[in-house]
Every structure is written in C-alpha cells, then in structure tokens.
Amino acid sequence: MANTTHHTIVELNGVSKTFANGTTALSGFDISVQRGDFLCLLGASGCGKSTVLRLLADLDVPSSGNVMWSDTQARESLSMVLQEATLLPWATVDDNVWMPLRIKGISKTDAASRIATALELVGLSDSAALYPRELSGGMKMRVSLARALVSEPSVLLLDEPFAALDEITRFRLNDELLTLRGKLDCTVIFVTHSVFESAYLANRVAVMDDMGKISEEIAIDAPYPRTSEFRSSSYYTKLCAKISAALERAA
C-alpha cells in the first residue's frame, strides 16, 4: 500500500541529541513521516537509529530541534517493538500480550477479545497458555508483536525486531509484518541494518550517515503486497544495489 494521502503525521526538524557523556547521536536530523508510510531507517551501528525511535516514542528529548506531531491521535496511539522480545518469563503468552492493557487498568476479561485478535494476527492463537521458555525465537518475537498490536496502534516503531533470527524466520516475519500492516492500516517506522530487509519492506528508505543525519532517501515504487517474486525481481536486485551504494557513501 503506497502512501497516496501525503498527510504528515510527524516531522523531526534539525534534531540533535548529545548525551550527558558528550556522545552526539544525532545532528541536524530531518524527516517527515506521512500517514501510511513504511519508512526504514538504515545505517551503520551507532549512527543514531534507535535514538530517533526513542525521541518519537517520547522516551527521550532532543538537545535541540523539534519533534512535531501534527497528528496527536497518532502520537497517542503508538507502539514500539524492540530487538529483544523482552517477555515476562513468569507470564503466559496471553498474559504478556495483555500487559499494555493491564497497565491501563483493563481487566483480562475486558481485554480478552483484543488479546485473541492480536494473537490471531500473529498466528499464535493456539499458544496462548504457553510460557516464553516454551517458545522459539520467532514465536517470542510474534508475541512481542502481538503485545504491540493489542493496543491497536496507528504508528508502529520497530527497532531491528528480527535481527537475532535466522534468515528463513526473518523472511517469514517480514511477510507477516507486511500482511499485518495491510490489515491494520498503520504507519511503520522500522530500524534495520539490512539493505535486503529495507528494500523488501519499505516504501521509503532513509539512509543515515555516521554524523547522525539522513544522507539520502530512496523511494521504493513497488506495490504491496510484496511476495517472493518481488524478492527475485530485477527491480529488487537493482534497488538493493542502489541502497548499498547509498550506505557506502554514507560511511
């Protein structure tokens, strides 16, 4: 689903972030996110990708510049998925998924249908009573996704969610994420190191340099849903080469 509405939901303008120890993570970072975007932030380790997500999620504040939400509903309806699934080991799958609603004071009975829907979306309806130790890495990440989806977010921030998984599982979860995003109609901001993953998922790839800003942005003009045919197309191959070259220039 390519973005056609050009409705800006959030802009980062001239954002810099320097931590107390003097490390500068971002400097002159600008981006405008449109409703319906699948934006991939791509860059070398330490270039500031996670810092961008933390600023968007209000987990940190910029040292200078602005994070301007023009869509306050989107800001209030934001979920984040981290690289580690970070599940509570003593809680079952459905209790883990319930957690964001529980924090809001919603009882498990009242949350039941939303928990069931989230688990169904990630294909884990039959695993609701299992504990994290009984799950594979891919299943744990699905639970983490379900936990993010249970609040029905309109913006989903994902910080290298599949980096620790084997390639086949990663491909499968990439496909599932695109399907979910089609069903939920949410805006996705996805951090990755992987050129191949960004080219497969995104409608926009923003390449970050080591100075903590965007050096190039590449638009991907391929319709959703994307399939293994897209992955083996010459367009995809050329796209990966283009993004790789941009990443090399950024370094």
Using the structure block, give the residue that is written with the tokens 């056609």: 4
Q: Which is nearer to ligand ATP, 119 or 205 (CB)?
A: 205
Q: How far is the CB of 126 from ligand ATP (least distance, A)?
A: 33
Q: Which is nearer to ligand ATP, 94 or 209 (CB)?
A: 209
Q: How far is the CB of 191 from ligand ATP (least distance, A)?
A: 6
Q: Which is nearer to ligand ATP, 41 or 87 (CB)?
A: 41
Q: How far is the CB of 6 from ligand ATP (least distance, A)?
A: 28
Q: How far is the CB of 243 from ligand ATP (least distance, A)?
A: 16
b/e sequence 99-133, b meaning 16+ C-beta within 10 Å: bbbeeeebeeeebeebbeebbebbebeebbeebbe
Q: How far is the CB of 101 from ligand ATP (least distance, A)?
A: 29
Give me the sheet containing 64-69, strands edge to edge. Answer: 24-34, 8-18, 64-69
Q: Which is nearer to ligand ATP, 51 or 154 (CB)?
A: 51
CA 108 to each of CA 89, 92, 101, 158, 165: distance values in angstroms, whole numbers, following the listed order: 18, 13, 8, 26, 31
C-alpha span between 248 and 102 (Å, rounded): 45
Query: Applying CB under 6 A, which residues contact ligand ATP?
Result: 19, 21, 23, 25, 43, 45-51, 193
What six digits make up the tokens of 63?
A: 């040292």
Q: Which is nearer to ligand ATP, 102 or 193 (CB)?
A: 193
Quick one: how far is CA 196 from the chain centroid?
15
